[in-house]
Structure 1
């Protein structure tokens, strides 16, 4: 007994040192991933720009300029490779040093290596890197991550759509159960809570969450989870006996100061031969009910696409993935007196920010798409959403086959068809509609 007690005391004394070593490994890995991700993203953007410049040089029959640009691309790639090797070597040195310390403290480094493999890549990691990481995991590791359903996993581009759906639905259900279980202990029914959330009515749980062992963030998550779940049910319900297949693509109920971020896919974008992304405009959000409240654009497009071409599979993504501006059109006199609201809808800054997120999500579609033939991707923007779509093409390198701009207040950085960079995707077509039923101009 004395020997056991002494051994336990020694192990307890080692725990702080073990904790420091583990923390240093985690910090070093996170920094290596961040630095490597930055270099890779910068290289990809530069190579895309060089590719565009090569296309322009060849179009002007300037072979010397094209060759010089190719040399620039090779030189820049080599320079980035040197930096990546340096990052890898630095992390490897730290890892080996700390693993040596752990061995001395009686910890099996193999356990650390398993945990290291399961560290989820940072949110800004390139989708190709994310896919390589996911594909490198063993089946049991993937199952473990899905069972644990960390929110970060479901929001990573490069993770298969089916996996993202499983994770995001599980996170959403956690958000629902957390509040409903706490309220249920006080005799409040889930039905009444959900009805209040859908109709933006207050109640004691929402007003005084601390009284129920909850936080304000728990309530925000719950309210947006209810509206996201309603959106899934809304899009799933078919007019015949068959329901539509729906997937919860990204899901972040706390994004944009509680307005929420989510996208619902009807159909599987990883397998669809035709994929459309619908981007809404001013005054829309998850919190505002865009995913379900009489908004049938995604449903109608999916149903009509399936009827028009039943031989080709279709996916339509209702993308409430950016922070859309707010403006009270019914009371414009009052609205214009609020400079923050006027600045939101009257400037392109939110479109540029949203365009960057849209481009990342849309470009990630190609990474996880199954089969040899890529999906034909159409991105549709309405109102301020059309400005967001234009900026995604012109400013953030979005790659898609078709651009459709409906009720567009302006294309901001896209001054002409060339600014949509059609060379990034073969056969880019586009149109701009003044109304849904009236063609105003066509970009070819």
Structure 2
């Protein structure tokens, strides 16, 4: 919180510093390391822990305990349910659970440490500025000051310059601190997806990744529905005439609103109802939306596909059993979570297959996920820009940034450049995965997508059905998303059937 000062103009101080250190600190303090730590403990306890994994977890846990301020707060993550979903719905291997717990605990520890240091820096700055403010008050309001006007004005200017300098110095420290944490977080998330096969979607927002948490997002969805759509839906349901598909959809949304606003309903029931309301709003959103850096498309195409598949799953898609609304929504969530981890794994494997080192492959996938344009990762002489300033040979790059990219070998650079020729300027992770596999050898798009989707632990006919369904009314981006996410729905076919059915997209 910006300190209340009587003589210093804090707005001018922030302007002179080139940024607001209090805003940086507020952003960091939004994170909830205790929630991440509790989830980490649930994974750790559910796994078969070796002495080595237990030691790594305890070290991370001790770091967390040393920095956490033990503030209470909401706890929107259902820890035991998330572990159960990870093992049953997402197919995470049991022997991976301890490592997931350790990776999550390290995120919690790093966040808690970052928050503690940031709070200390802000407290020190506040004390310095209050001292300066007091000295200014003495100069400005002491009628008995023996100094002449020019001397007093010079001292006032010196104090203001000191305040500006202190604020700028603290801002630099906090920005560096935040960037270090962000880089650590991005690497940890990549490791969870690529090494562990787990997409840590539940910690979004509470890890201070610059996004709203799922709980905050759900609350906003309910508020927006209440403000913009609820009365229209009620009027449609109350209108004369028989039940129509439009009336049925409106009644379903009113039901979801009632559940989402019912404090007696379970946490999961409220969450799933809110997600359906959010899908409706996004599906009808007009205007540009950012591209999904992992799966392609955007939030609108994603929501449109989810709404369509929601209906199909409730009705019993392809002869399958009918699902309740909550079962269908949870299956969509699980499938997307699985798909994101799978796509990251496939992209890294593809880059390695092309000859890139494992560390470089992860760094490239992470950079694409963060939206760094492919061309921006390469200098004019073909070197990878380490977005902290060092190229392959350690020389200072012409461009800098905050995302640290690991050192690349000359072989990594060659692979990077070769793959880049197959991608658009703003490629996504799924495009990287496709560009490094069959598509580079001329395989049909649909067949490759079907095989890619079908290899997700079995895959069900959803690899084609989801892709064809989404592609019919959304377009190519939806077909890609649908083929991947649809393939995660079942477990009684495999890659060959996925390829055969996916090939129907090429006809």
TM normalised by structure 2 equals: 0.28
Bigger radius of gyration, 1 or 2? 2
Whose helix proportion is higher, 1 or 2? 2
Q: Which has the higher contact order (CA 8 A, sep 6+)?
A: 2
Whose strand proportion is higher, 1 or 2? 1
TM normalised by structure 1 equals: 0.31
